[in-house]
Structure 1
Amino acid sequence: MTDADDASDADPESLAERVRAGDLRLHELDDHADADAAAAARRLVVEGETDASLESIGNYGFPAERAESNIENMLGTVQVPVGVAGPVDVNGGAADGEAYLPLATTEGALLASVNRGCSVLSRAGGANARVLKSGMTRAPVFRVTDVVEAEALVSWVRDNTDRLAEAAESTTSHGEVLDVTPYVVGNSVYLRFRYDTKDAMGMNMATIATEAACDVVESETAAELVALSGNLCTDKKPAAINAVEGRGRTVTADVTIPREVVEERLHTTPGDIAELNTRKNLVGSAKAGSLGFNAHVANVVAAMFLATGQDEAQVVEGANAITTAEERDGDLYLSVSLASLEVGTVGGGTKLPTQSEALDVLGIRGGGDPAGSNADALAEYIAVGALAGELSLLSALASRHLSSAHAELGR
């Protein structure tokens, strides 16, 4: 191939024509041009076959090569509006002081609601937040002959946890095995590995490390690996085990708000909010068989996940939260506890330019000192944002202002 042919290959129209002719597939374009030219060629192909205009999708503000580890067959970007709520005072174990919370959403009135909650939290002296437990899990499933072999495998694992940890940790310079918990169902044995992944969300790290440990299990026992994930992890699915045992960060935020602040700023009373929370978030959720006992924690989790480059599918677990409220000496005590918030400040989507900037707003881009402190801080900021969102929505419902607020904002 001549230099002229190379130049022709890098032209988006020429590349698109080769795809149309069947000489290339969409995923092969990156082998023949830089990432931006390949994306432009894909847009031409898709526009021609669908009659869609991809002008806005193709108008993005960073080199496409920056996203090569995040997506395949890139066309461009979908731009979601980003706003900030706050500032809000946070008294956390890792997060401390005033912060603006970046949220990306297309839901009108969400930012206004969270912002109102943040204002009231700060007026009350700020919100407390603490990460109570941390650990990313992966649970492979093994096949054994019968329950006798299952019991033997469980005993072997308990006696050889150090060997499994050594094999797993040999694959990473950051991950650390915290524990390995066996579960038996007939002739299936699940081993739930839990890792300290520091500032990374750590799902890929845990998967690679667990595979190395599984090799040791297969070489030393009669068990056969069926799948590296046996769904007892549990990733990206609602699961009681995550609600009870936790996954990622288990984090709680709370606040005590003086009665006069509740009445003046929220136009309701501590008693009314507490009663509403019991009847709606606790009893109503129980009657519905819900795994989450809250008003709309998913809203804040999803918006902050999108803004900061988290795995958006893990909102399923991240919104697994319980909100409590009580009248205490005339004031309002409110808390929100998120059992399985899977977040990181390194790796994945956190490396993208816009998401990196959102992490800079919080001052927690990259690895923390000590390791893990930045991801802990992100978990605490999200918990405080969720607390603000719960406070605002519960107050709007208690004061019967929810529909009027949406009407006023034109949403």
Structure 2
Amino acid sequence: MSDPTVADLVDRVRDGDVRLHELDAHVDAETAATVRRRAVAEQSGSDVDAFGEYAFDAADADPNIDNMIGAVQIPIGVAGPVSVDGGAFAGDRYLPMATTEGALVASVNRGCSVIDAAGGSTARVTKSGMTRAPVFRVDDVAEAEALASWVRDNVPTLREAAESTTSHGELLAVTPYAVGNNVYLRFRYDTKDAMGMNMVTIATREACDVVEAETDASLVALSGNLCSDKKPAAVNAVEGRGRSVAADVEIPREVVEDRLHTTPEAIAEINTRKNHVGSAKAGSLGFNAHVANTVAAMFLATGQDEAQVVEGANAITTAEVTPDGDLYVSVSLASLEVGTVGGGTKLPTQAAALDVLGVRGGGDPAGSNADALAEAIAVGALAGELSLLAALGSRNLASAHEELGR
């Protein structure tokens, strides 16, 4: 430890005089990260120098991490380019994917090449709205019904209170749900190009103050889990959360046979028996092959909240043989929570990935960049589904992993 400041602070951390989170008050962010890293190495007896290899200023990560000791590097690759006809995302684009799962990018890339051979994919955002659902306590079911009725009659008042906290968010709806003496109010907002969880939480808190002031209800928790954030939930599958987005493609029979080495009939049957019947028997909330793979890889690449892959995997894949004998495949993601401003999108590598897609920052009109990102992820998921279903149809899934050494 050649730097006496670092050495002294490591000693003070070890002796309990300074806590890890207090280091930023003594030194700059970069030095604080170095002190933490060395303190961790000393305490654990491990070599953590690799954490210190990163390409951004530690101070820039302050909104994204606490007790920073460095960074974890995840390999990033691209699939495509793939042709997309989207409502907000159009043209030939590479899809950036960060993952440690070998063969994933290759699989999605194969799906992209087949989609291109078929003339490209169509994608559309069908619904948008970030939610927060506080829970209130009332005396009985009569009071629960009265509160639900009051809310339905006073949405403009709640909207005024909620929107007073933000210059971007718009309150779209408030839906009451009563369970005994509990009333859940599911607020839904247009958060434009932000994923929006912080925005809607602050806005909903302001609206809750109005509810408590104007009714006999008592707020129990600002989040009552009917939102529902970072958990598998049927309400998100039905009502949507963030962006509901779909992508599809019709692939000529000869392309399926020549490029995927299987048939439209085989892929359609596998999709029904695996993704629909098998998922139903398992009690799954996602009826797909591996949508989470693409969602996770593109979330990591573009600075999204990785825990929300839970909702992003809430998807249904369909496959059917057309009257002309070709293959129609679609993927519908009910609750894809994405943003192109805020959060991890400001970090350099994540910002670069958004630039590859052409969607960094606020869109014109507002919300269009986040819509485009959602459509890009949906097309990537479609490519991944197509490739995996085809691998199962041609019975090449295991051999593909063996060949790639995964």
TM-score over 0.5 for the alignment? yes
Rounded to whole Å, the distance in 2 between the matches of 1:175 and 1:379 is: 19
Q: Secondary structure at the match of 2:308?
A: helix
Q: Secondary structure at the match of 1:201?
A: coil
* Residue 4 of structure 1: aligned partner: none
Does residue 396 of structure 1 match 2:391? yes
TM-score normalised according to structure 1 size: 0.97
Of 40, 44, 53, the residue aligned with 1:50 is: 44
1:10–1:32 Cα contact (<8 Å) kept: no
Rounded to whole Å, the distance in 2 between the matches of 1:148 and 1:270 is: 56
Query: Aligned pairs, how many?
Result: 404
Does residue 243 of structure 1 match 2:237? yes
Q: What are the equivalent positions in structure 2 for 1:373-388 lying under 5 Å apart?
A: 373-388=368-383
Deviation at 1:148, TM superposition (A): 1.2
Does residue 349 of structure 1 match 2:344? yes
Deviations 1:366-392 (A, max 9, x none): 000000000000000000000000000
1:36–1:65 Cα contact (<8 Å) kept: yes
Rounded to whole Å, the distance in 1 between the matches of 2:133 and 2:28 is: 39
Q: Secondary structure at the match of 1:145?
A: coil
Deviations 1:352-377 (A, max 9, x none): 11100000000110000000000000
Residue type at the aligned position of 1:332: L
* Residue 157 of structure 1: aligned partner: 151
Rounded to whole Å, the distance in 1 between the matches of 2:4 and 2:312 is: 43
Rounded to whole Å, the distance in 1 between the matches of 2:177 and 2:16 is: 50
Rounded to whole Å, the distance in 1 between the matches of 2:341 and 2:308 is: 16
Deviations 1:289-326 (A, max 9, x none): 10000000000000000000000000000000000000
Residue type at the aligned position of 1:383: A
* Residue 194 of structure 1: aligned partner: 188
Residue type at the aligned position of 1:319: A
Q: What are the equivalent positions in structure 2 for 1:166-205 lying under 5 Å apart?
A: 166-205=160-199
Rounded to whole Å, the distance in 2 between the matches of 1:401 and 1:151 is: 57
* Residue 79 of structure 1: aligned partner: 73
1:10–1:37 Cα contact (<8 Å) kept: no
- What is the percent sequence identity of the aligned residues? 77
Rounded to whole Å, the distance in 1 between the matches of 2:77 and 2:101 is: 11
Rounded to whole Å, the distance in 1 between the matches of 2:153 and 2:272 is: 46
Residue type at the aligned position of 2:372: A
Residue type at the aligned position of 2:374: A
> After the TM superposition, which segments of 4 or more aligned residues of structure 1 sit over 3 Å from their partners?
none
Deviation at 1:21, TM superposition (A): 2.1
Deviation at 1:238, TM superposition (A): 0.1
Q: Secondary structure at the match of 1:210?
A: helix
* Residue 362 of structure 1: aligned partner: 357
* Residue 5 of structure 1: aligned partner: none
Residue type at the aligned position of 2:238: V
Q: 1:33 to 1:9 in 2, by over 3 A?
A: farther
Of 14, 21, 39, the residue aligned with 1:27 is: 21
What's the RMSD between the two structures over aligned residues? Answer: 1.0
Q: 1:166 to 1:9 in 2, by over 3 A?
A: farther
Residue type at the aligned position of 2:205: E
* Residue 125 of structure 1: aligned partner: 119
Which runs of 5 or more structure 1 residues have no equivalent in the other structure? 1-7
TM-score normalised according to structure 2 size: 0.99
1:10–1:34 Cα contact (<8 Å) kept: no
Which runs of 5 or more structure 2 residues have no equivalent in the other structure? none
Q: What are the equivalent positions in structure 2 for 1:225-236 lying under 5 Å apart?
A: 225-236=219-230
Does residue 66 of structure 1 match 2:37? no
Rounded to whole Å, the distance in 1 between the matches of 2:201 and 2:77 is: 34
Q: Secondary structure at the match of 2:59?
A: helix
Q: Secondary structure at the match of 2:377?
A: helix
